[in-house]
Structure 1
Amino acid sequence: MPTDDNIRKRGCAIVSICNMCNSHSEEEDHLFLHCRFASKLWDWIKHVFSINLNNSSLQSIFYDCAKMHNKQVKEVHIACAINTLSTIWFCRNQKRFEGILITISQAIRRIKRDTSLAGNSSSASASPNVEDLLILRSFNINAKLNLALRITEVTWLPPERGWIKVNTDGAAHGSPGHSGGGGIFRDHNRVYITAFSKYLSIQNAIYAEFHAALHAVTIAYNRGWKHLWIEVDSSMLLDIFSGKSNPPWSLQNDWIKCKEKLHTMNYNITHIFREGNNCADKLASFGIVSRTHTVWNAIPSFIFSDYTMNRLGMPNYRFRNM
């Protein structure tokens, strides 16, 4: 910033005076923080936001901004502080180079205008308390309140008699990253049959999800199960099975072999929200952590509570904004 003190540090000998107060040499801290003109703007901000703003340094100003809890008001406060610094520099240049004196009220209107644009462009949400709403209104900013939550019951349903149901899932710690897949098979009485988890090395999530579904089909085929219900929490997987999307190129050959197996079976594939697919999700995560391929003939202890909830027909709940 080419304030007089910084120009002097570069070896230029100049006479310096602060154009905003005419009573002090122009130094960066004085101009932006301690000058009478700047102090009045920081006092105005303290009043608007009802806070004890420490304007002894730029670091302390932004530290106080970050302490605010309301996300939208916090972003407005940071934008206001930045626009205040920009306005001080603008007013200084207007006075020094154009001879135009900008008053405090004119400077405040400029800060409000620029802060309003930033605040209305923010995606952060506001809390519905009166104090925060008054702050936003003072800048002509629309409050973005969180919408009411929609609560959806998600219940695992058993297959019809004679069918086997498998829930599968995949996970990756990164894109790509260490990945794993898992699945759990149950019958029409909600009784556990078997489960698996696999470590799939470095892959992305869609690879892991698709590989888990393919492996589940192979298990069902090898065991002679002719009626298979596949349930997943990925809509992209449904598109692949229905032919609307292409599978990962590295699994093209596996997909061709899987389709040959499916032609010998009655099968159905459906979607379930993730909240109802907890068993498969934990099995996929186990594959990542264990770095092994595991098959369980008895229920793994780490999915026992979720399996029990499914067997008793107890719902999980999905929360989302309306």
Structure 2
Amino acid sequence: MRRVLFLCFYIEFNNSLQIPQHLHHFLHAKVSDFILNHQWIVPLDLQAAYPTLLPYLNQFTIPLEDKEDKLIWIHNAHGELTLKDAYSFFTTSGQKVSWAKSLWNIAIPPSKSFMVWRLFHHKMPTDEILATRGMQLPYMCCLCNKDSETTNHLFLECQFSLALWNWLAAIINHRIDVSSLSTLWQVTSVGNCTRLTAGSSISDFEILKFFKIEIHQSRPAKIVEVLWSPTLNGWYKCNTGGTSMGNPGPAACAGVFRNYKGEFLGCFAKNLGIANALFAEIMGVIIAIECAFEKNWKQLWLECDSKLVVLAFKSPHVIPWQLKNRWLNCITKIKNMINLPLLVLL
């Protein structure tokens, strides 16, 4: 991990400290020269010259045990560079459209989804499209025999198509916007091939009934009884949890400590900024272990509702690279406890 710290240290010198390029060859100190008893030690004159240096270094956790150097790929969660990551890094991301998720739906036959996909990408074999490929055809709509055959005309402007949309609008008692294909796609009917459950809207219920579509009612909520179980005499129990509003999104974690009698001992809550749910869950466990170690609670029982956190004790590859040093320090701390902390699912 010293190499990772050295890279960050070097980047800070180049970017924030604004050290001239011609002075870089005078920088011979190693990262280990600024670490003493697992703490950052920066000379006072260097702190005075660069006041942002020490706060920056304190963002990095120093391992309690010496580990082999390892380069980190910061663009993913686990820190390992894969072929997929390399390909994604050098290629531009595809265009995100609002209709993609609703188009490729298990309730819609693939042939119909493919037809609509071709419409949105102007790939339908209309006279207009075929003419661009060098095919000479009569440029006339076969439905109205008045205008040229284009995609917009067939589905949005033709009198025959408009009559169909008006008929459907009258049946469902809903105004259909035919100004574009995107607005038109908002009105869909999937028929009896779907296994999805119906909503609680009365208008949707009337539409389904008119087309004689079988209605699948949602299953009643299953009530699961959750009881807090006390630990053995002398043990301390901490229930942790973490969540994020998005993936990633604003995240936070929290935990509550109780003794074997169920008596409240303390709690913590921490705002984690922008992170995903796994990051928040793991941070809750990390803070719980650090608090227990600081208070010398050597018999600790942890409970959470994340299977990935339980797996992290067996496979550290689950841990995001930003938390890896701090997680390994927690593993080192629990080795000094009388009993290893038990992590169970709620």
TM-score normalised by structure 2 residue count: 0.46
Q: Which structure has greater helix proportion?
A: 1
Q: Which has the higher contact order (CA 8 A, sep 6+)?
A: 1
TM-score normalised by structure 1 residue count: 0.49
